[in-house]
A and B are shown apart, each in its own frame.
Chain A
Amino acid sequence: MTITNRYEFRLESWRVHYLGVAFLLMFNPNYGQCSDFSWDLMLFPHSQGIFRLDNSDQSNPTSEEFVPGINIFGSLSFGSFHLLGEYFLDQEEQELERMQIGWNSDTVALWLGRVHNPTGYWNTQFHHGLYFQTSISRPGIVEYEDEGGLLPSHLSGLLLTLNQPVDDGLLQLTLTLGIGPEYSDQLETWNLLKPNQATHGRGITARLNYQPKQFYPTEFGLAGGYYKIPASSPNLTTIHQWIFSLYGNWQQDRLRIIAAGYLVNNRLERPSNHQFSTFFNAYLQPEFRAADAWTLYGRVEGTLGENGPYQQLFPDYVQNRILGGLRFGVYAENALTLEVARTTINNDSFAQITLQWSALFE
């Protein structure tokens, strides 16, 4: 690391620390909870051991990993105004995942900032709160940008939600417009803490979802989006990406089924020509809460058109996977989960066993 880099790194660290301290000061307990002002803090620590078996390339992904980490979520509210922030830390990354300020009413919510892209269900339901998702892994199609994901998980800009009650149900329209990622070996999201560091694209997403019974978790929806992704590669200048998705989350008593399908079309602009790359991905995850503390689950996910030129840009993308798991709620908001999966990444198929502890401290 050069002196300049070291200086920049130190400056960056201080900037992050100052932000963290400022954020925590806002949670001064002396404010308490009054009628109009409230604050909240949720900590999501996790630790997981990953054991990969029989993969031909032992170097990447590694055959054993131990990954501890924490996601810190905080919010401040004054009447209908809210400020939310989510910061994720583990051995490999420290990133401000969400920072959004907004105004909510019964029928309208307007947010400004870095938000999760509402391309489907998973991304906006669980965010980075690992404890909330039953499975340890995310489906490959909704994987984060820096984990091999090939769709923009984050956008920075404007998010508008309109709610319309329909009988007992609720119809919800969500529109997001903002700064998207650029491509440089992987999708690189725009970082609020380093706003001038990289070029970035732009994108727009619209999602329509329906809850048959308002306030209840069952919902169905469809989403579409367009993203212009600049590329910093000698033989690739820009990616134009169109996404169309359908999803559902059905929950009744002890049974839950999450399913989604994504049709993704990409136009890869090269210095001399352009190329189209289209693929379809779907996943189905049934869950059964066998007892209060025990949940059995499985997931099948797969890609059609799996060796297209766009996917070849993402060597860590999970093309196909079948998995089963068991989650045990140990005590209070603590869970132990065991997941066994057969995964195909970059045409290499291998078995993987993951054991995870995840928790919510609030």
Chain B
Amino acid sequence: MKRVHYAVIGLVLNSLAASTVLAVKAEPEALVLVTANNIHIDQISTKEVRKLFLGLPISREEHTLVAIANNSDPKLIQVFLQKVIFMSEHMYKRQLQLRRFQSGNRRIEGIKQIDQLVRILEDTPYSLTYMWSKTAKSFNQLHILKTLWVFPSN
């Protein structure tokens, strides 16, 4: 009887693991650039994203784009810095401070609460941020502009 129980538990665990793998394969984790639905921005290159998040001016339709840093998840910040900005956190922070001090480049606000971040995106014209794709999809108010990086599949 015990053997039957173990077999059933084994089967359940196997099918759970398989479904998880399938789910991961179906939709890999991705880092995306998002804006509010009510803002229309056609295209933005990765180099422009890098410039924008270094505080340099990027414009669309004669409006300056506003970068907002998503500080809700330490892992997200690390991936963004490593895969998009290509700088360590220390160097990135210092570069932002120096550019503001030297040329009056715009300060990049960092927001820790995801709900607040979404509200700010809705309220601030031409604002953009980055987040995990699954987070972005859970908010109807957001529009994914660009996939910045995808976790490599195993």
- Identify the A interface with B (CB < 8 A): 33-36, 38, 40, 42, 73, 75-77, 79-80, 82-84, 102, 104-106, 109, 124-125, 127, 129, 132, 215-217, 251, 289, 292, 360, 362
Contact = CB atoms under 8 A, between A and B. Distances in A.
Contact of B64 (A40, A79, A109, A127): A79
Interface string B100-132: 111110110100000000000000111100000
A215 B95 contact: yes
Report, nearest first, the 5 A-B pairs whose CB atoms are least far apart.
A82-B104, A75-B104, A35-B125, A35-B126, A84-B104
Interface of B: 50-51, 54, 56-57, 59, 63-66, 87, 90-91, 94-95, 97-98, 100-104, 106-107, 109, 124-127
Contacts of B127: 35
A362 B108 CA distance: 12
Contact of A42 (B63, B87, B94, B100): B100
Contacts of B100: 40, 42, 75
A33 B106 CA distance: 9
Contacts of A76: 104
Contact of A106 (B57, B94, B97): B57
A129 B103 contact: no
A215 B124 contact: no
19 contacts: A33-B124, A35-B127, A42-B97, A73-B101, A77-B104, A79-B59, A80-B59, A83-B104, A84-B103, A109-B103, A127-B101, A127-B102, A129-B101, A132-B94, A132-B97, A132-B98, A132-B101, A215-B95, A360-B97
Contacts of B97: 42, 132, 360, 362
Given A40-B100, A77-B104, A84-B104, A292 B90 contact: yes
A105 B57 contact: yes
A33 B66 contact: yes
Contacts of A83: 104
A40 B100 CA distance: 8
B107 A38 contact: yes
Contacts of B124: 33-35
Given A215-B51, A292-B90, A362-B97, A124 B57 contact: no
Nearest to B63: A35
Given A38-B106, A75-B104, A217-B95, 14 more contacts: A33-B106, A33-B124, A35-B126, A38-B107, A42-B97, A42-B100, A77-B104, A79-B57, A80-B64, A127-B101, A127-B102, A215-B51, A292-B90, A362-B97
B109 to A, nearest CB: 6
Nearest to A101: B104
A35 B100 CA distance: 17
Contact of B98 (A34, A125, A289): A125
Contacts of A84: 103-104
Interface centre among B87, B90, B102 (most CB of A within 10 A): B102
Nearest to B126: A35
Nearest to B39: A35
Contacts of A362: 97, 107
A321 to B, nearest CB: 25
A102 B103 CA distance: 9
A62 B90 CA distance: 37
A83 B91 CA distance: 26
A36 B64 contact: yes
B105 to A, nearest CB: 8
A124 B101 contact: no
A360 B98 CA distance: 11
Nearest to A78: B64
Contacts of A82: 103-104
